[in-house]
Amino acid sequence: MRIVIFAISLAILITGCSQKSTFSGKVDNTPYATKECIKELSRGAEIDATNLVDTIVVYKSKRVLYAYKDGKKIYEFRISMGKNWDKGAKVQAGDYRTPEGSYKIIRKKCDNRLYKSLLVSYPNAKDRAKAKSLGVRTGGYITIHGQPKWNADGSGDDYTLEHDWTEGCVAIPNKDLDKLWKSVRNGVSIDIKP
């Protein structure tokens, strides 16, 4: 019985970055309510055309994300990553590593669990070839996303940024994601470096 209770508790605490949703269908008045976010996306109203980013670079060892416009750094954000980010590049589904390589932002998603997310084009051809040579599945659905609901107001940012808690994604504070969200269009390049 203790094992079952422990397993259930652990499952509740883990908030990684998988596609699974815990939305109950109830009205959600937190910043995670997706209805307005989806409306903005459908109109393209979330974009600030005066401040568009053309490149994102993540330095895992520095624990930082930089966003550039025409070669000039316009944003710098602290990050959290996959629990095993320091074990090297992501190789397979479930390894809790953050990928390394060159990718693109391919989709924006309003997320009722992790605020908002920018979907990264992981796996690329190199990632697929590596996984195939090892006989494993690459996994996918790697994003730059916000914070879990318990940290919606940012009061727990210091805690979440000092710990690596995702399943391989890059997490930033919600206030920072709002800036990036307005500055990124699909197709923006993202380089994730060791």
Spatial contact of 95 and 84, defined as CB atoms under 8 Å apart: yes
Structural domain includes residue 99: yes
- Residues 77 and 151: their CA atoms lie apart, in Å, by 17
Question: What are the tens digits of pLDDT across the range 99-137?
Answer: 999 999 999 999 888 999 999 999 999 999 999 999 999
CATH value at residue 164: 2.40.440.10
Structural domain includes residue 55: yes
Structural domain includes residue 137: yes
Structural domain includes residue 22: no
Note the residue count of the chain: 194
Q: Residue 125 sits in which domain range? A: 2-17+28-193
Both tokens of residue 13? 């605490």
Structural domain includes residue 62: yes
Q: pTM (2 decimals)? A: 0.83
The yes-or-no verdict on residue 16 having pLDDT over 60 is no
> How many structural domains are present in the chain?
1
